[in-house]
A and B are shown apart, each in its own frame.
Chain A
Amino acid sequence: AQRVTQPEKLLSVFKGAPVELKCNYSYSGSPELFWYVQYSRQRLQLLLRHISRESIKGFTADLNKGETSFHLKKPFAQEEDSAMYYCALKGASGSRLTFGEGTQLTVNP
């Protein structure tokens, strides 16, 4: 079974502060991990995937297989980063994405 846990439902930071959104997963094989984001009144969209090892909008995420984590980080949060963030896992054998419950990030001015 595959499971994704996002321990924080709400996260609030001030503009310019570092931000880390936590994601832990449970999967017996080699997973692919993703972060999806939903801005206010917009549809859910891909932010980044671990295999790309890229920085998108200043966000990065490193897959830590030892800790089974895929935390999302940004050194200096911006107000436009305020959104709902979902961590998602895709197992090697299937096509489905399993999503976490999401973290609502609010960046205050």
Chain B
Amino acid sequence: DTGVSQDPRHKITKRGQNVTFRCDPISEHNRLYWYRQTLGQGPEFLTYFQNEAQLEKSRLLSDRFSAERPKGSFSTLEIQRTEQGDSAMYLCASSRDLVTGELFFGEGSRLTVL
């Protein structure tokens, strides 16, 4: 499967712990996006990268959240001091520079904070 892959698929953690999610985009895609989706809601934009540069961050991305994309390949999303409100599906997507609007999504990483 050469699509977007995310790891882990499921993570259960206790409040206050740190978690990290990894996303491997489609190899020729320059842009990488993180979205968060809670039950009954559509995906909400968190941040995006073009190559290794983080070009846009949502106000949803509090200072407990940090995302990186070293070398413009895979990306990580870290949540520090997790809270119960962080429980959600974290979606990664990638796209090519010249193709607007078509995002290729991964299957998501589901986070449950107890």
Residues of chain A whose beta carbon lies under 8 Å from any beta carbon of chain B: 4, 6, 9, 32, 34, 43-46, 49, 86, 88, 90, 94-102
Contacts and interface: CB of A to CB of B under 8 A. Distances in A.
A46 B102 contact: yes
Contact of A34 (B40, B41, B101, B108): B101
B105 A102 contact: no
Given A96-B48, A96-B56, A86 B106 contact: no
Contacts of A6: 42
Contacts of B104: 45
A107 B23 CA distance: 34
By DSSP majority rule, is chain A's interface helix, strand, loop, or mixed? strand
Nearest to B4: A43
B101 A46 contact: yes
B98 interface: no
A94 B114 CA distance: 36
Nearest to B45: A96
A99 B42 contact: yes
Interface residues of B, number: 27
A4 to B, nearest CB: 8
Interface in B26-68: 31, 33, 35, 40-45, 48, 50, 55-56, 58
15 contacts: A9-B40, A32-B101, A34-B101, A43-B106, A44-B43, A44-B105, A45-B104, A86-B42, A86-B43, A95-B31, A95-B48, A97-B33, A97-B45, A99-B35, A99-B44
A32 B44 CA distance: 17
Contact of B43 (A34, A45, A99): A99
